[in-house]
Amino acid sequence: MFIHTPFKDIPPAPVTMNIQVHRAFRYESLVGCPFSAVPEYPPMNLTLQHQQDMKITVSTMDSTYLVEIRLSRTKWRIKKITNEIAHNFGIGDFLELHPHVTLFGPLTIRERVSSRQMLEAIGNVAARYDPLPFLINGWEKRDGMHGSVIAFPVRASEHLRQITREIAQVLTPLTTSQNVWDGEPDQKWFHVTIANRLGSDQASAIFSRLTGQDQKPMAKGEVPERKPGLLQRFLPAHVREKPVSAILPVLLDETGIRITVMRDMAILAEYDLIEKRWIYGDHRHSAPRWQKTLVQYRHHAGLEHRDPEPSLPDDVFLIADLHLGHANIIRYCSRPFFFSDSREMDHVLIKNWNYTISPKTRIYCLGDLRYGPEAEPATQYRKRLRGDIVLIRGNHDDRDTGTIASAETAYEDLKFFLVHDPADAPQSYDGWVIHGHHHNNDLRHYPYMNFIDRRVNVSAEVIGYKPVSLHEIVQRIRERGASGDTSPILFRYAGEQV
């Protein structure tokens, strides 16, 4: 999804703050991304205590607020892609270091209105909503009075749009917004900023590269040219000339679990949409409180079984890419687990398997059961898993663990070829290919169900971390065949409903 549309013209709204450290600094709000990564700014992760230590003096009336959704599961991946773009195009000074989706603001509070009144108004709206799903989808460029913006566009769910309208309705009498779109919430641009305050020509060139719309086609093996940064200009040519790697357009599902209110450059409070209350204090995603929030989210979203749901005796199940014991996969594939705790992830994945599979149920694991030096041997994991297990070998599986390269089966008159990497399936196969390997890393080409190419991706992240039955897959194939709808199904779980 590639969009290029201009901002509405808005008057500049400079905000001045004095910091008693070495100097004063100033930032100007840019629609949707007020806390931009310009060199004068202090770090984005300052806590209230750090601000106090640095003797930052900001009165309540002079403070600038922002109502937003911080990225959670996808934060690491989005920041990684953003840093790759900065490296490739030399725009590190213009990056947004704080990936978020703006709901309202930046704003200032009106005279005789307190921040507590503002929070109460937001909380009264948020209490009526559950966690808010949305998709981060592709690239987008827009032009504004303070320069151009490159961003990840967000496909908002109807609930996300509705809560944005209601927050605008209750905050308008209490605050003065510096964002013209807050007066027209139905026209809101939902996005996650990559970089802002770019020159128009610079942004257009970057956008063209990202979307593959370069006017001049590159010859085979040609390396895209990138203007060197200030430091690189003084380095030898063989050091500074690095190839620009291709960056695929993102397609990721995310969920707003908390609504965050920023005050200047620190989090004032967060409203938890599951617990239905404001949270103050430690908002780090490395904090134990966040781990508890993720447990509640998994239960709420149906990604973790709370009770057994035994299968029928004739059901056949599939799942791929569990990566048991692999802590880094949590960040790499945006899994809803505490990022450093593979034991919790293993516990949930094994529980989901055993709460679904009966002792005699046939289940195919399509590769990469476990991975990494911290993982147990595959034989130990197999002892903890129920069912009549067939292990199809993945690129991280050992050959001496009873694995096979592929399998073929039939179910309700449909043929299925089961393999880890779909590239290893016969090109002329006249049935459906069920595979793993791609996780949720390329959903445009490898979604849960691709009805054009007759492929089904059963990587754990795509099917909701629970084995899926062939009966369910066949039922969906027949439903779509009857309707004639060949559009892909990205995910098996509720995140698809965006």
3-state secondary structure of 246: coil
* Cβ atoms < 10 Å from Cβ of 463: 23
pLDDT at position 236 is 44
Would you say residue 95 has pLDDT above 60?
Answer: yes
Tokens of 280: 């103050």
User: Phi-psi bin for 296: left (phi > 0), alpha (psi -120 to 50), beta?
Assistant: alpha
The average confidence (pLDDT) of the chain is 84
Give the pLDDT band of residue 47 (cuts 50, 70, 90). Answer: very low
Q: At what angle do helices 200-211 and 75-89 cross, to 10 degrees?
A: 120
With tokens 């059901």, the residue in question is: 315
3-state secondary structure of 316: strand
Tokens of 239: 């050091």
With tokens 């399509």, the residue in question is: 366
Q: Across 71-127, where does the E strand assignment appear?
A: 100-109
187 secondary structure, DSSP code: G
Would you say residue 135 has pLDDT above 90?
Answer: yes
Would you say residue 219 has pLDDT above 60?
Answer: no
With tokens 């004068």, the residue in question is: 40
DSSP string, 378-414: HHHHHHHS-SEEEEB--TTS-TTSS-BSEEEEEETTE
42 burial via Cβ count (<10 Å: 0-12, 13-18, 19+): middle
**What tens digit of pLDDT does each residue of 111-130 get?**
999 999 999 999 999 999 99
Would you say residue 229 has pLDDT above 70?
Answer: no
* Cβ atoms < 10 Å from Cβ of 39: 7
Would you say residue 495 has pLDDT above 80?
Answer: no
Q: Which of 70-79, 182-191, 400-409 has the lowest mean pLDDT?
A: 400-409
Cα 236 to Cα 232, 233, 348, 416: the distances in Å are 8, 8, 51, 56
Would you say residue 389 has pLDDT above 60?
Answer: yes
pLDDT at position 417 is 98
Q: Which residues pair with 390 in a beta bridge?
A: 364
Tokens of 143: 């032009």
Size of the chain, expressed as the number of residues it contains: 498
* Integer Cα distance of 298 and 329 in angstroms: 17
Q: Which of 208-217, 322-331, 400-409, 458-467 has the lowest mean pLDDT?
A: 208-217
Mean pLDDT over residues 339-361, rounded? 94
H or E stretch including 278? Answer: strand 277-279
**What tens digit of pLDDT does each residue of 244-253 get?**
557 889 999 9
What domains sit in the chain, N to C, each tagged with a CATH number?
2-296 (3.90.1140.10), 302-496 (3.60.21.10)
* Cβ atoms < 10 Å from Cβ of 218: 10
H or E stretch including 309? Answer: none
Is there a cis peptide before residue 99, judged by omega within 30 degrees of 0? no
User: Identity (one letter) of the amino acid at 224?
Assistant: P
Q: Which residues pair with 258 in a beta bridge?
A: 272
pLDDT at position 233 is 41
**What tens digit of pLDDT does each residue of 143-181 get?**
977 899 999 999 999 999 999 999 999 999 999 999 988
pLDDT at position 61 is 58
> Which of 214-228, 298-312, 385-399, 459-473 is the most confident on average?
459-473
Give the pLDDT band of residue 295 (cuts 50, 70, 90). Answer: very high
Would you say residue 43 has pLDDT above 60?
Answer: no
With tokens 């002792």, the residue in question is: 359
Q: Which residues pair with 70 in a beta bridge?
A: 100
Give percent above pLDDT 70 in the chain: 80
pLDDT at position 404 is 94
* Integer Cα distance of 38 and 197 in angstroms: 9
Would you say residue 450 has pLDDT above 90?
Answer: yes
Q: Which of 1-10, 301-310, 358-367, 456-465 has the lowest mean pLDDT?
A: 1-10
pLDDT at position 275 is 96
3-state secondary structure of 143: strand
